[in-house]
């Protein structure tokens, strides 16, 4: 990857390593659908003035079909499903299951013929997944089939979302796509959120939703579009290996959580796997990779 690609990759790994803890705090007091509604509505409204000023929304709504598909598979569905799953599953289980996203993305883009993967990249994805498993210590809770199914659907959505961006929305203004998708998601959530509106708004849960909206949604998606345009959809999903590593590092350094042997082993495996998994395949020249030619 280029230097810009690595910077975007690391930034996204950090930013999207934070939400799991914030969501866990928020769903203690708010219904998962209300958390998702607040996150999308606030994030969309923050970006709306800029999108209107730059006239970035008009071309986006002309392509409403892929916009709706992207919104459903990347935002509306996953954010509700993760919130639901985190009411019963521990964060280790969620992090480990979502780490399957790059593997699913590889299968999809290879099947579609959009990218070529050599043994080195495939090995990198496997090593990265093993690193995530070591990080979370295999503290996996499989007692709730519905919650496991919710995360399984989330991983598929997260794998498909970047592909939709790359092949149907990459030539549109990122500000317009992000703003429109967030507001569309908020509209889809509205009737359900109205039925689950909380009677009280505790400070910790409210601040968590606000942080999710500003940092992990509005700012993060603009960076994510730039990352997809720089490195392609399959490589962009490898950030799901970095996310749990970042979450654990923050827990150890800021919350005084214990550093286990699994963390010491898993972290370098995640770094190595991410490096190998994001390398350009030798079999394909950069100019032959459509994922690298689309710049949002």
According to the model, what pLDDT value does residue 252 have? 63
Residues 195-218 have pLDDT tens digits of 999 989 999 999 999 999 999 999
Residues 142-180 have pLDDT tens digits of 678 888 889 889 989 988 988 898 888 988 998 999 999
Q: pTM to 2 decimals?
A: 0.74
Higher pLDDT, 59 or 107: 59
- How large is the average pLDDT for residues 97-111? 75
Q: Which residues contact 181 (CB under 8 A, 6 or more apart)?
A: 67, 70, 71, 74, 75, 221
Helices (H) and strands (E) in the chain, counts: 17, 0
According to the model, what pLDDT value does residue 288 have? 35
Q: Domains of the chain: which residue ranges?
A: 3-278
Contact between 94 and 151 under an 8 Å Cβ cutoff? The reply is yes
């Amino acid at each position: 990857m280029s230097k810009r690609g690595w910077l975007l990759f690391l930034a996204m790994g950090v930013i999207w390593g934070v939400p799991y803890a914030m969501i866990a705090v928020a769903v203690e007091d708010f219904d998962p659908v209300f958390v998702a509604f607040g996150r999308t509505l606030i994030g969309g409204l923050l970006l709306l003035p800029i999108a209107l000023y730059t006239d970035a929304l008009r071309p986006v709504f002309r392509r409403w079909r892929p916009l709706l598909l992207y919104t459903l598979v990347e935002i509306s569905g996953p954010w509700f499903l993760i919130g639901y799953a985190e009411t019963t599953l521990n964060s280790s289980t969620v992090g480990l299951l979502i780490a399957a996203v790059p593997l699913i993305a590889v299968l999809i883009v290879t099947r579609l013929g959009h990218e070529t993967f050599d043994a080195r990249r495939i090995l990198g994805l496997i090593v990265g997944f093993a690193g995530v498993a070591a990080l979370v210590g295999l503290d996996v809770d499989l007692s709730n089939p519905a919650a496991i199914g919710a995360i399984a659907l989330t991983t598929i959505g997260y794998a498909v979302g970047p592909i939709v961006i790359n092949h149907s929305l990459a030539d549109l203004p990122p500000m317009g796509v992000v703003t429109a998708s967030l507001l569309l998601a908020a509209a889809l959530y509205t009737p359900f959120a109205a039925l689950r509106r909380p009677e009280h708004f505790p400070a910790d849960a409210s601040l968590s939703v606000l942080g999710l909206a500003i940092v992990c949604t509005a700012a993060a998606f603009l960076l994510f579009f730039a990352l997809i345009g720089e490195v392609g959809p399959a490589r962009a999903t490898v950030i799901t290996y970095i996310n749990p590593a970042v979450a654990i590092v923050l827990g150890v350094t800021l919350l005084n959580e214990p550093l286990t042997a699994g963390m010491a082993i898993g972290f370098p495996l995640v770094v190595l796997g991410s490096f190998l998994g994001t390398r350009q395949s030798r079999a394909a020249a950069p100019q032959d990779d459509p994922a690298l030619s689309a710049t949002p």
